């Protein structure tokens, strides 16, 4: 018998996973950095993550989205995961959480 999970609970689990993924150049996770714009979960437990990078020339542009997809897919309830990269709006330091700014000595 499979455990039923609502999409809000699954969204919270996804956020926890996203907080384990770090930008290799900045010692803060991608969620607190503000790189995650949105997480969509449908009733079939397919996940779409809308995210950005710190710049279009980011050295991890090829690997970071793959890492995000793989880690989110590792959650038992997730059937499939897809990452869409966008630069609209472009990332700025204003998108960082207070926690990230504090960690980087910006507060």
CB neighbour class for 98 (10 Å; exposed up to 12, middle 13-18, buried from 19)? exposed
pTM: 0.89
Residue 63: strand, helix, or coil: coil
Report residue 1's pLDDT band, with 50, 70 and 90 as the boundaries.
very low
| Cα(98)–Cα(8) distance, integer angstroms | 24
Fold for the domain defined by 7-93: GMP Synthetase; Chain A, domain 3 (3.30.300)
The Cα diameter of the chain in Å comes to 49
**Any idea what DSSP says for residue 66?**
H
- For 9-29, write each residue's pLDDT tens digit: 898 999 999 999 998 888 899
* Cβ contact 21:29 at 8 Å: yes
């Amino acid at each position: 018998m499979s455990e039923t999970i609502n999409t809000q609970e699954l969204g919270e689990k996804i956020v926890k996973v996203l907080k384990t993924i770090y930008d290799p150049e900045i010692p803060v996770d991608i969620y607190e950095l503000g790189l995650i714009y949105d997480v969509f979960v449908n009733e079939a437990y397919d996940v779409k993550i809308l995210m950005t990078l710190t710049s279009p020339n980011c050295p991890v542009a090829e690997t970071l989205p793959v890492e995000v997809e793989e880690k989110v897919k590792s959650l038992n309830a997730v059937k499939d995961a897809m990452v869409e990269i966008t630069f609209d709006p472009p990332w700025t330091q204003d998108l960082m959480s207070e926690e990230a700014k504090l960690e980087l000595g910006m507060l």
